[in-house]
């Protein structure tokens, strides 16, 4: 039998006193898609950073084709045919596809750029991944996120990568783009490439991957072949215990209508109407670009509606800024926690109290601020040593809880959640669902935007489906299925 394409043995890595990896083994074969799983902070990223030469391991060795190699820089990794497609794409928006594909390794003749050769070669690479429809002269900024990802993959192919690491590749993709990506991944597998697939989305992993390796708290838990594997077992491997359920049971009963939205719209949202009751969770489903986040922005006073109106308690509401919306009782957990949800260089305490600093006459009341923060840390089970640490140092799941904590401190009446569990691991998700339930029980009206259909179905009372800015369906969650939602989300009847 051939040696595995890549083998990592007994990898140790510590940052100062903190051990991030303790004796991790990992093996990638040619022609397999291998899922790397684990909760946030389990060490997945660090392991992949070691494989791609960003960090050096403290102990352990890496073998490529059975031969020990030293990988200390990204250039080393590239030489051994290892490429990574990052979650945050590394392309320069103002340059063309061809420019990006050859960034840093431009073809030239007598010191002058050989644009013709680069264009030809770019076409070749794009054709190899089934993207010959893309013109190499198109600027990156004109492409959709999915297309940009394809360009990244083309770049990896162009570097003759045989091992390709994909970190949450579908996080920003539409349904159709995801299908295209999966077809490409299967195609690369047939051509003999090995793919490391890092994701939190169980459905995708079971549909796509051949084997699963799980890390927990920096230790290697095990590798299992996917055929015959139960979801419960994967979850148990990841969290070290059996979760009672992926989704907790909904317990609240909707009360009075709190928010009434009548034909609201602007450029991206058209004539959307719905009621939202106290204690109700209204899921908002739809594809990327369906106008869901835009709807939330209208309600929260970030963008100005050009049509329709919003009634709170039966009284017309015109929030012209987030500040006014907050005063009216709204909270908004934004989709992109790093760009929109948190001030990364501020402490947990300061982030939590940003919407409303406990103060008297403008003077900060440090004592009650600390008390409030401590209460929220306990309530949300935020794992941190110290509330004075910058939130930058927290894991993704804990950061997301800080964003939630910000709004809980305010006791909002209407809480808008935009992808509340994106990039959060299984255990963290369950905790966030639990919090959503608790809030609904307390009578908070919740609007939950989510791209994960199982989540929308399990956590909502009703589901608003959007397509190209229009509300195409308002379904009862008890009777809705993934199929009925998808039909409405794609504009079908």
* C-beta of 159 vs 351, nearer to other proteins: 351
Backbone angles phi, psi at 232, to 5 degrees: -60, -40
Q: Is 329 one of the binding residues for other proteins (CB under 8 A)?
A: no
Instruction: Classify residue 248 by its DSSP letter.
Output: P
Q: Is 113 one of the binding residues for other proteins (CB under 8 A)?
A: no
Q: Is 306 one of the binding residues for other proteins (CB under 8 A)?
A: no
Q: Which of 286, 396, 412, 427 binds other proteins (CB under 8 A)?
A: 396
Q: Is 356 one of the binding residues for other proteins (CB under 8 A)?
A: yes
Q: What is the sign, positive or negative, of the torsion defined by CA atoms of 449, 200, 51, 98?
A: negative
Q: Do residues 472 and 488 touch, judged by C-beta distance below 8 A? A: yes
Q: Of 492, 435, 434, 440, give the one whose Cα is nearest residue 467.
A: 492
Stretch of 15-23, 25-33, 306-314, 464-472 lying at the interface with other proteins (CB under 8 A): 15-23
Q: Do residues 324 and 345 touch, judged by C-beta distance below 8 A? A: no
* C-beta of 202 vs 354, nearer to other proteins: 354
Q: Sort strands 315-317 and 307-312 into parallel, antiparallel or unpaired.
A: antiparallel
Residue 468 Cβ vs other proteins, minimum distance, rounded to whole Å: 25
Q: Do residues 338 and 345 touch, judged by C-beta distance below 8 A? A: no
Q: Is 390 one of the binding residues for other proteins (CB under 8 A)?
A: yes
**Site of tokens 């009672």:** 244
* C-beta of 305 vs 396, nearer to other proteins: 396
Q: Is 341 one of the binding residues for other proteins (CB under 8 A)?
A: yes
Q: Is 92 one of the binding residues for other proteins (CB under 8 A)?
A: no
**Which 21-60 positions form the footprint of other proteins (CB under 8 A)?**
40-46
End-to-end CA distance of the chain: 53
Q: Sort strands 281-286 and 307-312 into parallel, antiparallel or unpaired.
A: unpaired
Q: Which of 354, 458, 474, 486 binds other proteins (CB under 8 A)?
A: 354
Residues in the interface with other proteins (CB under 8 A) total 49
Binding mask 397-436 for other proteins (x = CB under 8 A): --x------x------------------------------
* C-beta of 231 vs 389, nearer to other proteins: 389
Q: Is 348 one of the binding residues for other proteins (CB under 8 A)?
A: no
Question: Residue 260: left if φ>0, alpha if ψ -120 to 50, beta else—which one?
Answer: beta
Q: Which of 5, 6, 11, 20 binds other proteins (CB under 8 A)?
A: 20
Stretch of 179-187, 226-234, 326-334, 484-492 lying at the interface with other proteins (CB under 8 A): 326-334
Q: Which of 149, 213, 334, 372 binds other proteins (CB under 8 A)?
A: 334
According to DSSP, the residues that pair with 163 across neighbouring strands are 82, 194
* C-beta of 40 vs 421, nearer to other proteins: 40
Binding mask 452-491 for other proteins (x = CB under 8 A): ----------------------------------------
Residue 182 Cβ vs other proteins, minimum distance, rounded to whole Å: 23
* C-beta of 99 vs 294, nearer to other proteins: 294
Stretch of 254-262, 354-362, 430-438, 466-474 lying at the interface with other proteins (CB under 8 A): 354-362
Residue 488 Cβ vs other proteins, minimum distance, rounded to whole Å: 29
Residues that bind other proteins in the complex, under the rule CB under 8 A: 15-18, 20, 40-46, 300, 302, 321-323, 325-327, 332, 334, 339-346, 350, 353-357, 359, 362-364, 389-390, 392-396, 399, 406
């Amino acid at each position: 039998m051939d040696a595995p394409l890549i083998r990592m043995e007994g990898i140790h890595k510590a940052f100062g006193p903190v051990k991030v990896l303790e004796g991790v083994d990992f093996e990638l074969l040619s022609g397999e898609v291998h899922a790397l799983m684990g909760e946030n902070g389990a060490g997945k990223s660090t392991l992949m950073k070691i494989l791609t030469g960003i960090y050096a391991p403290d102990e352990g060795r890496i073998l490529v084709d059975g031969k020990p190699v030293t990988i200390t820089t990204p250039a080393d990794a590239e030489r051994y045919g290892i490429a990574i497609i990052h979650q945050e794409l590394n392309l320069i928006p103002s340059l063309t596809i061809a420019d990006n594909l050859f960034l840093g390794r431009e073809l030239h003749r007598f010191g002058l750029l050989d644009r013709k050769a680069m264009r030809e070669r770019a076409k070749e690479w794009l054709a190899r991944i089934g993207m010959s429809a893309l013109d190499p002269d198109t600027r990156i900024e004109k492409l959709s996120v999915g297309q940009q990802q394809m360009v990244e993959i083309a770049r990896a192919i162009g570097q003759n990568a045989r091992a390709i690491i994909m970190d949450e590749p579908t996080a920003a993709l539409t349904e159709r783009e995801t299908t295209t990506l999966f077809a490409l991944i299967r195609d690369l597998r047939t051509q003999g490439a090995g793919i490391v697939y890092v994701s939190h989305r169980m459905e995708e992993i079971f549909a796509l991957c051949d084997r699963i390796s799980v890390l927990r708290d920096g230790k290697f838990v095990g590798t299992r072949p996917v055929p015959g594997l139960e979801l419960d077992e994967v979850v148990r491997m990841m969290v070290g215990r059996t979760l009672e359920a992926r989704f907790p049971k909904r317990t609240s009963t909707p009360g009075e209508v709190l928010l009434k939205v009548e034909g609201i719209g602007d450029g991206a949202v058209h004539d959307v109407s719905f009621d939202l009751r106290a204690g109700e969770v209204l899921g908002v489903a739809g594809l990327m670009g369906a106008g869901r986040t835009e709807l939330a922005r209208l309600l929260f006073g970030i963008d100005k509606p050009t049509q329709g109106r919003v009634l709170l308690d039966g009284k017309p509401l015109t929030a012209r800024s987030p500040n006014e919306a907050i005063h009216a009782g709204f909270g908004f957990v934004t989709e992109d926690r790093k760009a929109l949800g948190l001030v990364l260089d501020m402490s947990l305490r300061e982030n939590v109290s940003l919407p409303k600093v406990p103060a008297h006459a403008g003077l900060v009341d440090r004592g009650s601020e600390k008390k409030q923060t401590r209460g929220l840390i306990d309530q949300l089970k935020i794992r941190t040593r110290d509330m004075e640490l910058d939130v930058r140092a927290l894991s993704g799941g804990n950061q997301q809880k800080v964003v939630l904590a910000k709004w809980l401190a305010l006791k909002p009446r209407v809480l808008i959640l935009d992808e509340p569990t994106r990039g959060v691991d299984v255990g963290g998700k369950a905790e966030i669902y639990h919090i959503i339930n608790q809030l609904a029980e307390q009578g908070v009206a919740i609007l939950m935007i989510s791209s994960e259909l199982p989540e929308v179905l399990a956590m909502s009372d009703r589901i608003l489906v959007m397509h190209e800015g229009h509300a195409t369906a308002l379904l009862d969650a008890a009777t809705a299925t993934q199929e009925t939602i998808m039909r409405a989300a794609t504009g079908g009847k």
